[in-house]
Amino acid sequence: MRRAWLLAVVLLAVAVLAEGPALAQNKWVRGPVTEIGADTLTLTVKGVATTVKVETATRLSFPGGGTAQRAAEQGGKAGLNLRDHVKVGATVEVHYKEVAGAKVATEIRPITVADEAVSEESGEGAVSGTVVSVTSNSLVIKADGKDMKFPVTPEVRVIGTGMGTKTRELASAGKPTPVTEFLAPNDQVVVYYTGEPATPTLTAVRIVQKAFK
């Protein structure tokens, strides 16, 4: 009998990675799921199949995940079943690490059809966290209880539901579009970067959930 996948849920209010040179860099891929195996997940990125290994420590991250996790625990389960939340054909973003030649998923995040910028992509580095501070030239997020600082340039994209519309509205009004127009302290974000974690080059920020006001 195929064993159930019981995955720990990461609450959106909790950051998941550490900072600096000690941080084992996460890579990431985003695309439609083509196969769900006993302990693997395969998705297609620009026509190329990418298979990651799923472990019990792999986090399944989505809005309402905390509620679902508590319901599972009340029902006597150790965690969530991935198949209940991820289906073949669905678009997901997977963060993974290279371990002994294998891609081991650290986090799986289903992407809803309402999200913007859900094209098939892959990249070198990604980290989830909470915005501590943001200015026109720097972004600080808290991840696993530690701060990570990223230099901000005009090329940095902020993506997420409604962000494209807001960008166009500002542009049509002749107004600038600095990151401070989109990000605020306590926002839950995924930060995408290139280079080493100690000296990262920020490329994009995805807003997962805006802070409650």
Report the SS3 class of residue 23: coil
Q: HSE of 14 in the Cβ direction (CA atoms, 13 Å)?
A: 12
Phi, psi angle pair for 170, to nearest 5°: -65, -45
List own/partner pairs for 108-111 with CB under 8 A and 24 or more apart.
Answer: 108/7, 108/41, 108/54, 108/58, 108/59, 108/60, 108/61, 108/82, 109/60, 109/61, 109/62, 109/190, 109/208, 110/62, 110/85, 110/86, 111/30
Domain ranges of the chain: 6-209
Please list the pLDDT of the chain residue by residue as tens digits (213 residues).
Answer: 444 445 544 433 333 333 333 344 678 888 899 999 888 999 988 888 999 999 888 888 776 666 777 777 777 776 677 888 889 998 888 989 888 888 999 888 887 655 444 565 667 788 888 999 999 899 999 987 889 899 999 888 888 777 777 778 877 888 878 888 889 999 988 888 887 767 788 888 988 888 876
Q: Report the distance separating Cα 125 and Cα 196, nearest Å.
A: 8
Report the SS3 class of residue 87: coil
Token pair of 63, please?
Answer: 């809005």
Token pair of 77, please?
Answer: 């389960």
pTM: 0.63
Contact (CB, 8 A) for 139 and 150: yes
Phi, psi angle pair for 172, to nearest 5°: -65, -25
Contact (CB, 8 A) for 117 and 134: no
